[in-house]
Structure 1
Amino acid sequence: MNALTPDAAAATLLAAQRAAHATDPTPTHAVRIDRLDRLARLLEENAQAFVQAITQDFGHRSAHETLLAEVGILGTSIVGTKRHLKGWMKTRRVATSLAYMPGRNRLIRQPLGVVGVVAPWNYPLQLSLGPAIGAIAAGNRVLIKPSELTPAFSALLEKLVGQYFKPEEMAVVCGDAQVGAAFCALPFDHLVFTGSTAVGRKVAAAAAPNLTPLTLELGGKSPCIIDSSADLKVAAPRIAFGKLLNAGQTCIAPDYLLVPPGQGRAVAEALKAEVARMYPTIEGNPDYTSIISPRHRARLQQLLDDAQSQGATIVPLSDDLTPQGSRKFTPVAVLNPTPSMQIMQEEIFGPLLPIVEVADTAAAIAKVNAGDRPLALYWFGSDGAAREQVLRETIAGGVTINDCLWHIGQEAQPFGGVGASGMGAYHGEHGFRSFSKEKPVFIQARLNGIPLLHPPYGKTFAFMLKVLKLIA
């Protein structure tokens, strides 16, 4: 295998996994639990190694953030999946229409075969193995392509998966963007991609010739609405945490704030006070994560420079201003942004936070609906009518009320985007179902009335259609 190019290796591994699936197309509950147990051990026994590899790739990544947002979330998911797996696997009884009784309906959940996972760099562990949990639980084989921007992590994951799993169960293929493109063009039974909307379109195009079913977890500009009824003392620390976790390099981070008229500066000052409490320093602070690469840091600086050149007010949220050559980036609020600014046109993916003043709830809704449908939406306040209006009149992949991010941690809820922010969903039973074929089965009774609908057609046929209400 080592002599093969990475794209050839991916094709060879896929063929091996397909062949293994053919010999055992429906793994037992015990087999699936064993695979989940091995995945849990992989995480538990190598947590610190993952922490070190990811911080090496980032320049610096908060160890606590890796343990919380990657290792911890995955561990919780495995525990919940194991607890409910037997119930998820059961054949389900489904109601049968009166016209077809005494026949019976059943719904069988079957593994699809081989699930491909293309993971991004921002949460490389969680977004490599998160989809794999649902895929394994559903009885599938898994092939993972981690990001080329996290080479230390990717090499570690490839090595460890090889130690804990047979290649026909789960395997990892490392390589550059060209390898990733070839990976997406393989005939998987399902493909999960997490990344930008622009690359997501390319993934969909690559998968189209094979009609590969897709789960696309993309991104976009996730709004955070601070209602006039909100308590800023409650909202500010939660927004600061949600925005600055992983230095803002989170697909569901609040991308911009919508605040009441005249409140932009007050909100910025409240956020600055919380940043000072959470991160007394930036440059040397082990709790504050670096930007993934100099190129991404330069892009953030360019967004800031463009906004300032067009008249935006720049408010550093820390007095510890990082130097130009640093991989860290001081969090910044951007007041009075306009639609023409780049910072309001593309996903920020960093610690920059535009603050837009809007007249009322209707104006906030109009602002959200003027753009693509976001992956996440956040609302802070105590006005129930305003909250329900926002929920009713906007569409987003997921929503957290009076906090940020935490809808992603709800294993009983689906996680996924809508429109430009993605398609499909996983987590918990929703992931199990996404990676299964729910096969409907109708079991005809020995004695039934269907022969009355057979030809030759005549009065009996017409009578039966009326009795069964098949026609008006």
Structure 2
Amino acid sequence: MSTVSEQTLLTMNFQALQSAYARDPAPDYAQRVAVLKKLKRALVSHEQHIYQALSQDYGYRSQFDTFFADIMPTIAAINYAIKHLKKWMQPSKRHAGLMLMPSKVKVHYQPLGVVGVVTPWNFPFYLALGPTIQALAAGNRVMIKMSEFTPHANQALKSILEDISEHVHLVEGDAQIGAAFAALPFDHLIFTGSTEVGKLVAKSAADNLTPITLELGGKSPTIIDQDIDIGVAVDALIMGKSINSGQICVAPDYVFVPAKRVDSFIDTFIARYTEYHLSSNNSNKQSHIISDRQLTRLLHLLDDAKSKGAIVHPVKAHDPSNSKCVYPHLLTNVSEDMAVLQEEIFGSLLPVMTYDTLDDVISYINARPRPLALYIMSNNNPLIERLIANTHSGGISVNDTTMHVVADDAPFGGIGHSGMGQYHGYEGFLTFSKAKTVLYSSSWLPKNRIVLKHRDWVFKVLRKWLLR
């Protein structure tokens, strides 16, 4: 099929969703819940298909990673939306104020129309369906653009969406189709991916004045304090660096360690990672790097750092015969001219930096683009509050990593180079709804006639009240 015909088909499918929305622009609570329940049943019935598809796309992806980071949070999001949707849909009462008395004001939440969702390859089910669930809860139709790097997952998701095809349509294709997708006049567009591509998506959306949510990435720091149990800190970092082999937008990207604790940190990290992943009898092993392209990029970051003086502390040296499995490599003696400190790593490398004072850490973080996440390993409440108040990031986890993302009742979103806008839970419902102010005035009271006829008196009373 030619590129032109693919783009024509893309437009036709978009228009079909627009028409479906136009036929039913205000689906009620029962209709929305019915769609969400169909989606949940399809996900549950396709569980094994999902495991197989993602493992095929990755070469090997552990069932634990797929369940923990794709299936579980997706179903949890459906359950949460169903439980709270009736309350979310209720108009909210607002204060009318003196100028509008005795009228009443309410805010109604109306579906936007057709929402576009651009999905990356790292968590194709959760990052496709997470925003889709909230958009459906808000009463919209949805069009999803999947990554060309997860063809088996894409086919599995197509099967899952068959029963709700009038509400959700899935699109596949390369970067050219992705660009055409972003150029469609959606009523809202959410993109998850790299900062550089996010900029292009924002430019395309601007031509249609399409509202956007950008979930990007960047370099998420971890700060280990002087007193925290080093094992607790290491376990949290291993969780963030081992799930999906660190191919996560909120994975710890570098870590600040007090100078006197570096050796203990490295030894503990290697020992515990070995215990959890190399010496363990668990059948779920470390997931692979998704593609040769991503593998080459990671190894280039490693070689560049070594050539510029970094000291490498591998959990296990990379084995070319098992090329797509890269265990963590800790890097010390790193410097700013290394690509590993300039680019988002999106993998299993971890630069380790030392610090003397918290001021140095705060200055370093604030001098750089704002990260999607920030991690604090500490039981020192004043230190924790100081970092929360004096740094900017999309979100923060204390004595944990990555897990704040799946909090059902809290917003998720970046800031600056790590994104704009937010979704998840109630905030997701709001993102994909139009909050419409409605003023209710009674016809029995000639309020406008009184104001118009007695303007001088009204002016004096209001001016005296407001400027008192």
- Verify same fold: TM over 0.5: yes
Q: Is residue 7 from structure 1 mapped to residue 7 from structure 2 by the alignment?
A: yes
Aligned to 1:219: 217
SS in 2 for 1:442: strand
Alpha-carbon offset, residue 211 of structure 1: 0.6
**Structure 1 residues 52 and 382, CA, compared in 2 at 3 Å: closer, same or farther?**
same
Contact kept, 8 Å, 1:453 with 1:464, in 2: the verdict is: no
Q: Is residue 418 from structure 1 mapped to residue 429 from structure 2 by the alignment?
A: no
Residues of 2 paired with 1:243 and 1:286: CA distance? 15
Q: Is residue 362 from structure 1 mapped to residue 341 from structure 2 by the alignment?
A: no
Aligned to 1:182: 180
Residues of 1 paired with 2:413 and 2:74: CA distance? 17
Q: Is residue 33 from structure 1 mapped to residue 54 from structure 2 by the alignment?
A: no
Contact kept, 8 Å, 1:33 with 1:82, in 2: the verdict is: yes
Alpha-carbon offset, residue 325 of structure 1: 6.0
Q: Map residues 120-269 of structure 1 onto 2, 5 A cutoff.
A: 120-161=120-161, 163-166=162-165, 168-269=166-267
- AA matched with 1:124: P
SS in 2 for 1:40: helix
Residues of 1 paired with 2:4 and 2:87: CA distance? 41
From 383, 387, 403, the counterpart of 2:384: 387
SS in 1 for 2:245: helix
SS in 2 for 1:262: helix
Residues of 2 paired with 1:160 and 1:289: CA distance? 24
Residues of 1 paired with 2:406 and 2:193: CA distance? 19
Alpha-carbon offset, residue 461 of structure 1: 4.7
Residues of 2 paired with 1:285 and 1:339: CA distance? 39
SS in 1 for 2:189: strand
Residues of 2 paired with 1:53 and 1:5: CA distance? 28
SS in 1 for 2:105: strand
Q: Is residue 21 from structure 1 mapped to residue 18 from structure 2 by the alignment?
A: no
Aligned to 2:51: 51
Contact kept, 8 Å, 1:223 with 1:376, in 2: the verdict is: yes
Aligned to 1:119: 119
Aligned to 1:105: 105
Alpha-carbon offset, residue 246 of structure 1: 0.3
Alpha-carbon offset, residue 170 of structure 1: 0.8
Q: Map residues 432-471 of structure 1 onto 2, 5 A cutoff.
A: 432-446=429-443, 447=445, 449-451=447-449, 453-454=451-452, 459-469=456-466
SS in 1 for 2:350: strand
Residues of 1 paired with 2:183 and 2:158: CA distance? 21
Pairwise CA RMSD: 2.0
Q: TM-score scaled by structure 2?
A: 0.96
Deviating 4+ runs (over 6 angstroms): 1-4
Q: Deviations over 1:157-184 (max 9, x none)?
A: 22332x2223x31110111111011000
- AA matched with 2:50: F
Residues of 2 paired with 1:174 and 1:222: CA distance? 30
SS in 1 for 2:143: strand
Contact kept, 8 Å, 1:95 with 1:105, in 2: the verdict is: yes
Alpha-carbon offset, residue 47 of structure 1: 1.1
- Unpaired runs of at least 5, structure 2: none
- AA matched with 2:352: I
The percentage of counterpart residues that share the same residue type is: 41
**Structure 1 residues 21 and 159, CA, compared in 2 at 3 Å: closer, same or farther?**
same
Alpha-carbon offset, residue 380 of structure 1: 0.5
Question: Bigger CA drift: 238-247 or 109-118?
Answer: 238-247
Contact kept, 8 Å, 2:198 with 2:216, in 1: the verdict is: yes
SS in 2 for 1:116: strand
SS in 2 for 1:416: coil
Aligned to 1:302: 300
Contact kept, 8 Å, 1:312 with 1:336, in 2: the verdict is: yes
SS in 2 for 1:340: coil
- AA matched with 2:163: Y
Residues of 2 paired with 1:380 and 1:210: CA distance? 44
**Structure 1 residues 451 and 261, CA, compared in 2 at 3 Å: closer, same or farther?**
farther
From 303, 308, 311, the counterpart of 2:309: 311
Residues of 2 paired with 1:209 and 1:58: CA distance? 36
- AA matched with 1:343: V
**Structure 1 residues 409 and 448, CA, compared in 2 at 3 Å: closer, same or farther?**
farther
Alpha-carbon offset, residue 14 of structure 1: 1.2
Residues of 1 paired with 2:318 and 2:201: CA distance? 38
Residues of 2 paired with 1:11 and 1:468: CA distance? 56
Residues of 2 paired with 1:97 and 1:279: CA distance? 62
- Unpaired runs of at least 5, structure 1: none
SS in 2 for 1:438: strand
Q: Map residues 311-330 of structure 1 onto 2, 5 A cutoff.
A: 311-318=309-316, 321-323=318-320, 326-330=323-327
- AA matched with 1:414: P
SS in 1 for 2:320: coil
Residues of 2 paired with 1:324 and 1:398: CA distance? 39
Residues of 2 paired with 1:381 and 1:108: CA distance? 43
Contact kept, 8 Å, 2:64 with 2:284, in 1: the verdict is: no
Q: Deviations over 1:239-283 (max 9, x none)?
A: 11111110010000000001112322321111101101111169x
Q: Give aligned pairs, total.
A: 466
Contact kept, 8 Å, 1:9 with 1:173, in 2: the verdict is: no
- AA matched with 1:74: T
